[in-house]
């Protein structure tokens, strides 16, 4: 049979390939320590799970949900943004629940990109930005990010003809994979550039509450005028350790939010209502769990940075996100380093090249590994004679 060209040309998803390698090593009897995927090992807080248990017993939650989500959930999203960032959104026009933010990110290109249109993507960056563009028939232009530039895009470096063709630009701070952060001044410059070139900003902000040393990440909507040109994706996954429940949100410009809702209503049937109820109670329930989780991640971050530097890698201590981004010695490829590490130490890291050309020469490690396993993995790395 003949598959569609978009599927034939689809590259393997980065973490699917890593999962295959892990499975193969485990099948061969090896004990694997993985610093790969940023999937919190800490459980969903008990009071949030209690809400799910109650909601699951209610027959009203056994039926089809609506694509636009419960009104109470959209209100909760608006209230959360006002509490967290002091910005408020119309619950019915400027908020939309998602089946995890990844789903909305992948579908957003369908709202803005026609065949031949251009999307601007960060390099390194989350692979789904490019895949969503490809599915919509668009083309991608990669904006190179560098350590020297703080892993922030230089808008002035974007050629005028590229800016003229672009329909959207993806931003992501706190950043995956680098852990870089951005301030309000950066977002003010981004908004001014987007207005000048009539480009939509899609800001991916799921790590806004995973931060350390007293740092508080910002929202693009704290920059004046952002609502004219931007939307922001967020998620309960990292805030409340709810990755497995698949629930996220998008907020911002009402025209863009409505466009994504129209796409979703023709593709999915929404989030199970019991999970929506769970998310509502997460927003209005105790919030001390966030600081508790971050204290654990910060301790792990510090330990990881210490060992990586000890073995000769260059690391800038991240202020936020679940990741440590480490620079390899000159001449060492990220794929080669990662392959040798899993083959010789049974330790998994993510090669930076999987996030784009500018990720070459780096590896990404996640702090979402249980303490005992993290210590074992770091011990193996410290004793490894590969470099």
Specify the pLDDT at position 15.
Answer: 62
Please name every residue paired with 234 in a beta bridge, in sequence order, or none if there are none.
Answer: 249
Secondary structure class of 215 (helix, strand, coil): coil
Specify the pLDDT at position 14.
Answer: 64
Specify the pLDDT at position 189.
Answer: 98
What is the pTM for the complete model shown? 0.95
- Count of Cβ atoms closer than 10 Å to residue 187 Cβ: 24
At 26, the pLDDT band (50, 70, 90 cuts) reads confident
Query: What's the topology of domain 5-44+288-383?
Result: 3.90.1150
Contact 206, 101 (CB under 8 A): yes
Structural domain spans, the chain: 5-44+288-383, 46-284
* Domain pair 5-44+288-383 / 46-284, same fold: no
Distance separating alpha carbons of residues 324 and 365, to the nearest angstrom: 5
pLDDT digits (tens, 9 = 90+) for 287-305: 999 999 999 999 999 999 9
Assign residue 312 a region: left if phi > 0, alpha if psi is -120 to 50, beta otherwise? left
Pick the CATH number of 46-284 from 3.40.50.2020, 3.40.50.1240, 3.40.50.1580, 3.40.640.10: 3.40.640.10
Distance separating alpha carbons of residues 320 and 181, to the nearest angstrom: 7
Residue 133 has which token pair?
A: 């563009």
- Count of Cβ atoms closer than 10 Å to residue 59 Cβ: 6
pLDDT digits (tens, 9 = 90+) for 245-258: 999 999 999 999 99
- Of 144, 216, 161, 153, residue with least CA distance to 186: 153
Secondary structure class of 292 (helix, strand, coil): helix
DSSP for 123-171, written as a single string: ES--THHHHHHHHTT-EEEEEE--TTTTT---GGGS-HHHHHHEEEEEE
Specify the pLDDT at position 74.
Answer: 98
Contact 356, 170 (CB under 8 A): no
Contact 134, 140 (CB under 8 A): yes
C-alpha 189: how far from chain center: 22
């Amino acid at each position: 049979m003949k598959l569609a060209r978009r599927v034939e040309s689809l590259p393997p998803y980065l973490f699917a390939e890593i999962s295959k390698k892990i499975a193969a090593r485990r099948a061969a009897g090896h004990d694997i320590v993985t610093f790969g995927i940023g999937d919190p090992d800490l459980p969903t807080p008990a009071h949030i799970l209690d809400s799910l248990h109650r909601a699951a017993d209610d027959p009203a939650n056994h039926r089809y949900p609506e694509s636009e989500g419960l009104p109470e959930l959209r209100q909760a999203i608006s209230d959360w943004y006002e509490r967290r960032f002091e910005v408020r959104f119309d619950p019915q026009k400027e908020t939309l629940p998602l089946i995890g933010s990844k789903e909305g990110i992948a579908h957003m290109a369908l709202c803005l990109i026609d065949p031949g249109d251009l999307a601007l993507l960060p390099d390194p960056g989350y692979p789904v930005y490019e895949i969503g563009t490809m599915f919509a028939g668009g083309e991608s232009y990669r904006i190179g990010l560098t350590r020297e530039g703080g892993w922030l895009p230089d808008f002035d470096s974007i050629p005028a003809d590229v800016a003229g063709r672009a329909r959207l630009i993806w931003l992501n701070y706190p950043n995956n994979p680098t852990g870089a952060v951005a301030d309000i001044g950066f977002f003010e410059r981004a908004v001014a550039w987007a207005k000048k070139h009539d480009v939509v900003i899609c800001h991916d902000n799921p790590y806004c509450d995973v931060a350390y040393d007293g740092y508080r990440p910002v929202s693009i909507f704290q920059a004046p005028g952002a609502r004219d040109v931007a939307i922001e994706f967020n998620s309960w996954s990292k805030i409340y350790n709810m990755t497995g429940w698949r629930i996220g949100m998008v907020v911002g410009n009402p025209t863009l939010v409505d466009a994504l809702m129209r796409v979703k209503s023709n593709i999915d049937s929404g989030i199970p209502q019991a999970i929506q109820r769970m998310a509502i109670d997460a927003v209005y329930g105790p919030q001390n769990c966030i600081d508790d989780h971050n204290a654990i991640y910060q301790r792990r971050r510090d330990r990881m940075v210490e060992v990586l530097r000890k073995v000769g890698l260059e690391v800038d201590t991240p202020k936020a996100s679940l990741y440590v981004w480490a620079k390899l010695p000159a001449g060492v490829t990220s794929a080669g380093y990662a392959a040798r590490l899993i083959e010789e130490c049974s330790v998994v890291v993510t090669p930076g090249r999987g996030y784009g050309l500018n990720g070459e020469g780096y590896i990404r490690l996640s702090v979402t590994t249980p303490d005992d396993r993290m210590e074992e993995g770091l011990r193996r790395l410290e004793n490894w004679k590969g470099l």
